[in-house]
Amino acid sequence: MKYICLAYISEEGWGTMTESQRNAALDEVFAYTDELRNSGHLVATEGLQSARNATTLRIVNGKVSVTDGPYVETKEKIGGIYVIEARDLNHAIQLMSKHPVVRAGGVEIRAVVDMSAMYEASRERRAAAKS
């Protein structure tokens, strides 16, 4: 079972840290990421740039509007994403509970939806439409 884990962090907190504090924090995060990888539970992970660098697309007045900033303004921002492989939700909770990023803000866990059946049906519909 795949689970997507969104790691929320307080960017303010990060901003007030010294360089050695930041290094220590990064070491903790990377160490645990290594653990997940080595135990075969890590499917993918990416760090995110600051939410200030986010760009959001919406429709305004019938046109695509490009604006600066994240879609939703929250106190904590999404700082990283993980896709993990776990037996079930309890296992996913166990794996992410030990991740230092939980202390930095929080982690949202959601099961990945297996869209393969939906995708197949869509492919057939689109193929039929072509013929």
Partner 1 sequence: MMSEQASNPIYDQVDAIYRAESRRVFATLIRLLGDFDLAEEAVQTAFAAALEQWPREGMPENPRTWLVSTGRFKAIDVLRRQARFDGSVTDEMLERRGGVDHAAWDQPEVEDDRLRLIFTCCHPALAPDAQVALTLREVCDLTTEEIARAFLTHAPTIAQRIVRAKTKIRDEHIPYEVPERSELPSRLDVVLRVIYLVFNEGYSASSGASLTRHDLSAEAIRLGRLFVDLLPEPEAQGLLALMLLHESRRAARVSASGEMVLLDDQDRSLWNREQIAEGIALVRKALSSRRFGPYTLQAAIAALHAEAPNAAATDWVEIVALYNLLLRVDPNPVVELNRAVAVAERDGPAAGLQLVEEILAKGELENYHLAHSARAELCRRLGQNEKARGSYEKALSLSQQEPERHFLKKRLQELPRK
Residues lying near partner 1 in the complex (CB under 8 A) are found at 1, 87-91, 93-94, 110-111, 113, 117
- The residue among 34 and 108 lying less far from partner 1, judged by its C-beta, is 108
Task: Report how far residue 58's alpha carbon sits from residue 56's, in angstroms, rounded to the nearest whole number.
Answer: 7
Task: Please state the closest distance from residue 112 (CB atom) to partner 1, in A.
Answer: 10
Task: Please state the closest distance from residue 53 (CB atom) to partner 1, in A.
Answer: 31
Task: Please state the closest distance from residue 21 (CB atom) to partner 1, in A.
Answer: 29
- The residue among 64 and 113 lying less far from partner 1, judged by its C-beta, is 113
Q: In three state form, how does the secondary structure of the chain look?
A: CEEEEEEEECHHHHHCCCHHHHHHHHHHHHHHHHHHHHCCCEEEEEECCCHHHCEEEEEECCEEEEEECCCCCCCCEEEEEEEEECCCHHHHHHHHHCCCHHHHEEEEEEECCCCHHHHHHHHHHHHHHHC
- The residue among 16 and 97 lying less far from partner 1, judged by its C-beta, is 97
Task: Please state the closest distance from residue 127 (CB atom) to partner 1, in A.
Answer: 18
- The residue among 34 and 88 lying less far from partner 1, judged by its C-beta, is 88
